[in-house]
Amino acid sequence: MLVGIDSIANRGASPERKSLLRFITCGSVDDGKSTLIGRLLYDTRQIFDDQIRALETDSARLGTQGKAIDFALLVDGLAAEREQGITIDVAYRFCSTATRKFVIADTPGHEQYTRNMITGASTADAAVILIDATKGILTQTRRHSLLVNLIGVRHRVLAVNKMDLVDEDGETRFAEIVADYRAFAVQAGLGEFIAIPVAGVRGDNVVDRSAAMPWYAGPTLLETLEDLEVDTDAAARAPFCMPVQWVNRPDSSFRGFAGLITSGATEPGDSVRILPSGVNSTVARILTMDGDLSNARAGQSVILTLTGEIDCARGDFIAAANDPPAVADRFEASIVWLDSDPLVPSRTYSLKLASQVVGVTLQTPKYELNVNTMEHLAAKTLKLNGIGVTELATDRPIVFAPYTEDKSLGGFILIDRVTNATVACGMIHFALRRSTNIHWQTLSVDRAARARLKNQRPAVAWLTGLSGAGKSTIANLVEKKLNRMNRHSFLLDGDNIRHGLNKDLGFTETDRIENIRRVGEVARLMSDAGLIVIAAFISPFRAEREMVRAMIPRGEFLEVFIDTSLAEAERRDVKGLYAKARAGELKNFTGIDSPYEAPLAPELHIDTTAMSAEAAANAIVEALLDLGN
């Protein structure tokens, strides 16, 4: 705790009570978060300095810990945000005779830095939510309170700050704010909280009780933080689980699986299950840099060896065989959107949960939460700082737990596959039942057998470019040439597909993404059948082209950029579409009022202003033959 020696001397605390409390300060801009932390630091350090000087001659009471006081530099969250793009956690360490140690995260109150507030809250045991007594509850107060609850922070302390500015009617004003916040908390299902009137500038009720507020008889902020319960044994009580972070080379004589044990304990001879495969094995050895261990528990980084030849890779989990976590690929989850570009339903993002990284698509949100009224609003997307609930599907099963049961297996982030930017964080509610009822059926005739029958290597040649670039013409020539060579192929053309499979889709960004997703699945199935697939689609977004590439086995996808300038495409305008788009008769037309994202590193780049359609088709066929056809 911050007052260390004073607590031992005056309260009779024992060393066994000492624990670590991680807490954040949050709330709206200029509510006084950094000032409050500064006052907390200043007042407690003054107490320490006075008491150490008084007791430094009493070695019997101080023992060898008298100099074990270490204050770290206080860093303002907003200043760090501006300079480095991050919020820095500020740690304070105190002598080992103190009753508690703290790690404090001063999170910025600006709405655009919500991602940093969530980062700080993700490991916190408590949140000190500040409210300016002169302003009352603001939108950002509500947003931060909801996020604290969503992230699963156990304790909430409401610090009504700047009480020195409302001295004359302080008691009434404090009661009004607490009543307003309680009504909001009940409506939002936030649970209980502790309210304290403080004045950060003067230090009232921060460390010492305030003579200026005789009407308040409760604990100070520091006393409250000292007395909050922290469950330090929860991870130890849970079943054994370790995400695999590293595996030595398969050709090595030693086969070890390294990771940090997140819960439970294990010892040689324990039965374990590899997830998500479900294969069972037994722990053979537990190794560290210092040699073998007889057992290991939560919080330790170790290398496990297992009996038998076990297929286990980075991102897999080793868990207790009798109580493993669940595995699924479809979920309901809460999402906090953190990117300036909105959520695009059906677009493939990367989902990172523990050591697992998988592709994921999100459905249109079930609803967005209005942080002021708590209404569930209909929404087609989520924008910056939006909070909503949606369903999501991963491209393969992952190990998970509901966030309320296990933060490490229920909390995830979403990453844009093109920019690698973190765009959202999420908390899993539960797996959808259909994900556990649907299983892959093992088939006797596989992809390789079908390819051998056709005497060719399956492949997908994906032609992308502006309307009028020449995709359909070139694709048709490619299939004619393959047909003359007795190759088994199929041409998927953008216009033709919209007459049948995708006739229910329009040309909005969301519909375009779904159009390419469906075509990608068809192309994958056709290549599984052993065919050479030629796909001719504008496919304007890089993320969706990468999504299709990820569906196809490595080395069997050929991205072909059919390149021409917009001016040349408009000059050709064989379908009259550009003219309609320029006249406003055709909305969401690529190149006019909808963007085209050119490939960054296609396997083939064909400029149709410099190469004939015949030459382009020859180049594509040659590239396909180089793949093994």
Q: Which residues are catalytic?
A: 539
Tokens of 377: 């609003």
Neighbours of 10 (CB within 10 A): 9
Output the CA–CA distances (angstroms, integers) from residue 619 to 4, 458, 614, in the order listed: 76, 18, 9
DSSP letter for each residue of 277-292? TTEEEEEEEEEETTEE
- Cβ of 434: how many Cβ atoms within 10 Å? 10
3-class DSSP assignment, residue 460: strand
- β-strand partners of 86: none
Report DSSP state, residue 98: S
Coil, strand or helix: which one is 261? coil
How many other C-beta atoms lie within 10 A of the C-beta of residue 500?
7
Assess contact for 261 and 296: CB atoms under 8 A: yes
Q: Which of 503, 497, 546 is nearest to 526 (CA)?
A: 497
Among 453, 403, 357, 331, smallest CA distance to 147 is for 403
Residue 55: alpha-carbon gap to chain centroid: 49
Please give the Cα distance from 464 to 518 (Å, whole number). Answer: 16
Quick one: three-class SS letters along 534-567?
A: EEECCCCCHHHHHHHHHHCCCCCEEEEEEECCHH
Output the CA torsion sign for 586, 591, 597, 601: positive
Q: Provide the total of helices (H) and of strands (E) in the chain, helices listed first.
A: 19, 30
Q: Give bridge partners of residue 132 from the DSSP assignment.
A: 161
What is the CA angle 373-378-382, rounded to 5? 90
**DSSP of 418-487:** TT--EEEEEEEEEE-HHHHH--PPP-SS-HHHHHHHHTS--EEEEEE--TTSSHHHHHHHHHHHHHHTT-
For residues 321 and 275, give the distance between their C-alpha atoms in angstroms, rounded to a whole number. Answer: 10
Backbone angles phi, psi at 438, to 5 degrees: -110, 125
- What distances in angstroms separate CA 141 from CA 28, 339, 540, 628, one per listed residue? 6, 21, 40, 61
Reported as half-sphere exposure (CB side, CA atoms, 13 A), residue 226 has a value of 20
Say whether the peptide bond before residue 325 is cis (omega within 30 degrees of 0).
Answer: no
Q: Is residue 97 a contact partner of residue 8, using CB atoms and an 8 Å limit? A: yes
- 439 Cβ neighbours under 8 A, 6+ residues apart: none
> Is the distance from CB of 94 to CB of 2 less than 8 angstroms?
yes
User: How are the residues of the chain apportioned to helix, strand and coil, as percentages rounded to the nearest 5?
Assistant: 30, 30, 40
User: What is the rounded distance in angstroms from the CA atom of residue 267 to the CA atom of residue 105?
Assistant: 36
Nearest to 33 by CA among 123, 125, 104, 135: 104
Rounded-to-integer distance, Cα 471 and Cα 531, Å: 20
- Which residue from 392, 384, 402 is spatially nearest to 365, judged by alpha carbons? 392
